Structure 1
Amino acid sequence: MDMMRLRQSQVVPVVALDDPSDAVPLANALIDGGIEVIELTLRTPNALDVVRALKDADHDIMLGVGTVISTDQVERCAKIGVDFIVTPGTTPRLADAIEANRVPCVPGISTVGEAVAMIERGYETVKFFPAEAAGGVSTLKAIGGPLPQLSFMPTGGIGRDDVRRYLDLPSVVCVGGSWVADKDSLAKRDWAAITRNAKLATAL
């Protein structure tokens, strides 16, 4: 996984998209705003078709797939050839499937025990989710304190005004957020608004 691109983007847009024809215009809008990474979540009926459309376009954006919760989804993402996947939480069965399919992953954790379990499996970067509901920056500091070898991508309830507090933590690689490609802008296909949000994100 290209961790440098994650660090450079700072904010990873977390997007639920259902129309495959919107995939490339959205990616273009983010790139124009300086963001080179996207996390397309599997929360809509046609989510995998959206992922496939962006992959088939051979776009420059780093393509991640989020809300991966089953072995079948892992296998499908691996076949499509996505750059990485993200899980909201990581069971042993799911972790086994990820390893078997050799797909780069940012596994989800919310406790110290879960974080240690991912270290045991060789992961260096994990997703802290749901970040704000799980205690935000203070909890992340507490989890990261005894685990200096681990880096985090906090996601969940993080608004634009919260981003800087997370990015100021040395252990944070980047922050996931849905506000960059917000629902209203997506519904209106207002790509210019999403580019403006992406520019705001990179300025943070």
Structure 2
Amino acid sequence: MIDRILAKRIVPVIVLDDPASAEPLAEALLAGGLDIMEVTFRTAAAEESIRRISARFPEILVGAGTLLEIEQVKRAKDAGAQFGLAPGLNPKIVEVARAEGIQFSPGVMTPSEVEQAMALGCKLLKFFPAETAGGVGMLKNLAGPYGHTGVKVIPTGGITSANLASYLKLPVVAAIGGSWFVDKALIAAGDWKEITRLTKEALAAAAQA
């Protein structure tokens, strides 16, 4: 999973209100060259959306985001999720995800949380909320004592096309998580062509960085 994320360096953070949008959205992302998706468990449509994507598009690395409860981890795995993320660090969730066979990235914001995640065996971490938590400057400081450990982060929260390059230039950053190119308004409007265009644009910017 880490190798695939490192290859693309972008993880779309997706909120779906209707499972019927899941498959055309997946097609739009694939058309744009992106085969990774994070569907957040913020809506009732998340589980069925993951199930549809994983069944029809086995080539997509599909994950579940905002996993806050043990039951959600199990439901995500049963639906076909291959990885999971959370905004915070909950040791119980990490333990269950490991037992379920899901690669899990807990959210961290401070040195203490990074060390707790490392102690739990997590090396790919979600840095959230990235911009509010100090952004690039904070990550540079965290990389000082932890960069040599092999820890990598996926900054999420406030990442846009305007600032993604500044994050991706940091060696500690594996990829960025963003939603500007999979905006809920575009999904609701069924504007798949625009999502494909924005995806291509984002991948090109990531490649340059």
What whole-Å deviation, never above 9, does each CA across 1:146-191 have from its counterpart, x for those lacking one?
A: 0012101000111110100000001111000010111221111100
- 1:1-204 equivalent positions in 2, closer than 5 A: 2-148=1-147, 149=149, 150-204=151-205
Deviation at 1:110, TM superposition (A): 0.9
Aligned length: 203
Runs of 4+ residues deviating >6 angstroms: none
Does structure 1 retain, via aligned residues, the 8 Å contact 2:50–2:80? no
Deviation at 1:80, TM superposition (A): 2.3
Unaligned runs of at least 5 residues, structure 1: none
Residues in 2 aligned to 1:60 and 1:92: alpha-carbon distance in whole angstroms: 30
Deviation at 1:105, TM superposition (A): 1.0
Residues in 1 aligned to 2:112 and 2:84: alpha-carbon distance in whole angstroms: 21
Return the structure number with greater helix share. 2
Q: Which moved more, 1:170-179 or 1:96-105?
A: 96-105
- TM-score normalised by length of structure 2: 0.93
Over the residues paired in the alignment, what is the CA RMSD in angstroms? Answer: 1.2
Does structure 2 retain, via aligned residues, the 8 Å contact 1:18–1:50? no
Q: Which amino acid aligns with 2:144?
A: G
Q: Which moved more, 1:182-191 or 1:164-173?
A: 182-191
- TM-score normalised by length of structure 1: 0.95
Q: Which amino acid aligns with 2:174?
A: V
Deviation at 1:67, TM superposition (A): 0.5
Matched residue of 2:154: which SS? strand
Deviation at 1:135, TM superposition (A): 0.8
Unaligned runs of at least 5 residues, structure 2: none
Matched residue of 2:48: which SS? helix
Matched residue of 1:185: which SS? helix
Does structure 2 retain, via aligned residues, the 8 Å contact 1:10–1:201? no
Deviation at 1:59, TM superposition (A): 3.5
Residues in 2 aligned to 1:177 and 1:104: alpha-carbon distance in whole angstroms: 20
